[in-house]
Amino acid sequence: MTIRLGDIAPDFEQDSSAGRIRFHEWLGNSWGVLFSHPADFTPVCTTELGLTAKLKGEFDKRGVKAIALSVDPVDSHHKWIADINDTQNTTVNFPIIADGDRKVSELYDMIHPNANATLTVRSLFIIDPNKKVRLIITYPASTGRNFDEVLRVIDSLQLTDKHSVATPGNWKHGDDVVIVPSLQDPDEIARRFPAGYKAVRPYLRLTPQPK
């Protein structure tokens, strides 16, 4: 199954380190970050799960739940979690799905035969409260994920969902944003953006980030 942006994230029921997970029910009205790992006790993924645990406060501020996945069983996950907690000086505070039958991996197209015929690639999905897929990133096994970028994208998505703006390249929370080209009525622009804007070009109008 191929997942594209805007698709409804497939629902599933699977065991995890935190018990049985019914995915859509578990998400509720939250945003979600679902990310996969080739196997337990892999070095890059150990650092990533530790980092995710340390970022719980940042995810909570944004109304985001994190959930990881590996094809290994629950008992292996619990042993790995002990290692993660010890080596990364943290406490894993999110579920790790045990996808031994590859059900979730197949639903989310995480098995790439040219990379590895049996293990999941390192994919990450951002899912909104309507259960729509808003971001997909797939990393090579040798490159750790940049969770600052994941948080940046969540900030952008949540901001642009509320306002008629887009975020420019390298945008960070608090930087100027772009008024979308479809918004042309001067009165509406003045109402939406009381701080004014700078028209670099007719199609490129920068304005302070709305609060």
Q: Read off the pLDDT of residues 93-126 as tens digits, 9 standing for 90 and up.
A: 999 999 989 899 889 988 765 555 455 568 999 9
Secondary structure letter of residue 1 according to DSSP: -
Mean pLDDT taken over the chain: 93
- Please check whether residues 133 and 63 belong to one and the same domain: yes
Q: Residue 199 domain-assigned?
A: yes
Q: Is 45 a catalytic residue?
A: yes
- Please check whether residues 120 and 171 belong to one and the same domain: no
What's the pLDDT at 112? 61
- Please check whether residues 191 and 120 belong to one and the same domain: no
Catalytic residue among 9, 45, 49, 126: 45
Q: Please count the structural domains in the chain.
A: 2
What's the pLDDT at 43? 92
**Structural domain that includes position 198:** 163-207
- Please check whether residues 60 and 119 belong to one and the same domain: yes
| 122-174 tens-digit pLDDT | 899 999 999 999 999 998 878 899 999 999 999 999 999 999 999 999 999 99
- Please check whether residues 185 and 115 belong to one and the same domain: no
Q: Residue 111 domain-assigned?
A: yes
What's the pLDDT at 153? 98
Confidence of residue 69 (pLDDT cuts 50, 70, 90): very high
For every residue of 83-145, DSSP letters joined together read HHHHHHTS---S-EEE-TT-HHHHHTT-B-TTT-SSSBPEEEEEE-TTSBEEEEEEE-TTS--
User: Which one of 117, 144, 171 terminates a domain?
Assistant: 144
In the chain, % of residues over pLDDT 90: 85
- Please check whether residues 103 and 197 belong to one and the same domain: no
Q: Residue 191 domain-assigned?
A: yes
- Please check whether residues 178 and 89 belong to one and the same domain: no
Going by C-beta distance under 8 Å and a sequence separation of 6 or more, which residues neighbour residue 141? 38, 44, 115, 121, 122
Q: Residue 33 domain-assigned?
A: yes
- Please check whether residues 195 and 99 belong to one and the same domain: no
- Would you say residue 197 has pLDDT above 60? yes
- Please check whether residues 86 and 132 belong to one and the same domain: yes
- Please check whether residues 105 and 42 belong to one and the same domain: yes
- Please check whether residues 99 and 172 belong to one and the same domain: no
What's the pLDDT at 113? 56
CATH number of 117's domain? 3.40.30.10
Stretch 25-43: mean pLDDT, rounded? 94
What's the pLDDT at 120? 58
- Please check whether residues 82 and 140 belong to one and the same domain: yes
Helix (H) or strand (E) holding 25, with range, is helix 23-27
User: Which one of 144, 173, 197 terminates a domain?
Assistant: 144
